[in-house]
């Protein structure tokens, strides 16, 4: 039999532990046709990861919270906000009540990323602001290592903008959307398809402010971007 440390290493090297969420994101970017087929498989793998983490690390370990947070994020990507909130709250409770002493800078980064995923999945304004602060700390910790982060500045600012719209604060929403657009342009280029949803949201915010010309201008930006079937140029790595 394997020792406990060998079991831990084996479980967290499982390819699907780190890539099952990518399946969901990839299918969302490439159309709805395969979305429901692939998501169910991905979610089963995420649930399996939660069970394995609990078995190996116990109920109070940050690794268990990390697995739950990734499951919450998976639900969020599907639009299942109630399930996402439930699991994110569970992950937050573990992170707040457990004793987490990272053994290295790398492990500290993983703990921060688990917190980032947790607070992002909780969605409320104050939680997204916490996610933004954690993201800043994570980027500062990683420095120039250029390690990929599952949730980026674009994601946090886009969500903050949407919450601002729900709070009837379109001016604040525009500020957040502009930050999201700036990030995407810097990382993916001026013609990235990720800008489409941002411009659409900016158009909604401007409509709320009765600034119709500006709203139309944002929507025109969407039409000027390459179509969904255009092959995008390889983008430079961006860490968040």
Report yes or no: 240 and 152 within 8 Å, Cβ to Cβ.
yes
229 within a domain of the structure (yes/no): no
Residue 199 pLDDT > 80: yes
**In a shared domain, residues 163 and 131:** no
Question: Would you state the structure tokens that stand for residue 70, as one six-digit string?
Answer: 């990734």
**Domain interval for residue 61:** 4-138
Q: Which residue has the tokens 């599907």?
A: 78
Please check whether residue 179 lies inside any domain of the structure.
yes
Residue 157 lies in a domain: yes
- Whether this prediction's pTM lies above 0.85 is answered by no
CA atoms of 170 and 208, how far apart (whole Å)? 6
- For 140-187, the pLDDT digits (tens) are 887 645 567 789 999 999 999 999 999 999 999 999 999 999 999 998
Which pLDDT tens digit goes with each residue over 106-121?
888 899 999 999 999 9
> Residue 5's CB: how many other CB atoms inside 10 A?
8
Number of domains into which the chain is organized: 2
Length of the chain as a residue count: 240
Question: Token pair of 69, please?
Answer: 């947070």
In this structure, the answer to whether residues 131 and 177 fall within a common structural domain is: no
* Region for residue 231 given its phi and psi (left: phi exceeds 0; alpha: psi -120 to 50; beta: otherwise): beta
Indicate which CATH number applies to the domain containing 158: 1.25.40.10
- Give me the chain's average pLDDT, please: 79
- Maximum pairwise Cα distance, the chain: 68
Domain boundary among the residues 97, 115, 138 is at 138
Same domain, 128 and 182: no
Average pLDDT over residues 66-85: 91
Give the C-alpha distances (Å, rounded to integers) separating 179 from 154, 157, 160.
7, 7, 10
CA angle 156, 200, 177 (to 5 degrees): 35
Range in 24-28, 59-63, 83-87, 171-175 with the lowest mean pLDDT = 24-28
CB contact at 8 A, 50 and 36: no
């Amino acid at each position: 039999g394997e020792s406990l440390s060998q079991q831990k290493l084996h479980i967290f090297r499982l390819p699907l532990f780190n890539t099952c969420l990518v399946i969901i994101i990839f299918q969302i970017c490439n159309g709805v046709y395969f979305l429901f087929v692939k998501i169910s498989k991905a979610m089963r793998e995420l649930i399996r990861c939660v069970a394995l983490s609990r078995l190996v690390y116990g109920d109070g370990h940050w690794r268990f919270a990390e697995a739950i947070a990734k499951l919450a994020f998976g639900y969020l990507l599907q639009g299942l906000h109630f399930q996402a909130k439930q699991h994110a709250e569970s992950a937050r409770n573990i992170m707040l009540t457990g004793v987490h002493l990272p053994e290295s800078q790398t492990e500290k980064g993983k703990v921060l990323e688990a917190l980032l995923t947790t607070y992002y999945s909780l969605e409320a304004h104050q939680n997204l602001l916490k996610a933004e602060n954690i993201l800043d700390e994570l980027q500062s910790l990683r420095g120039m290592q250029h390690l990929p982060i599952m949730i980026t500045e674009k994601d946090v600012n886009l969500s903050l903008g949407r919450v601002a719209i729900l709070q009837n604060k379109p001016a604040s929403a525009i500020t957040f959307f502009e930050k999201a657009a700036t990030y995407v342009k810097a990382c993916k280029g001026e013609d990235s398809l990720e800008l489409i949803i941002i411009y659409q949201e900016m158009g909604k915010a401007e409509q709320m402010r009765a600034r119709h010309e500006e709203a139309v201008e944002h929507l025109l930006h969407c039409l000027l971007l390459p179509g969904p079937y255009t092959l995008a140029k390889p983008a430079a790595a961006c860490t968040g």
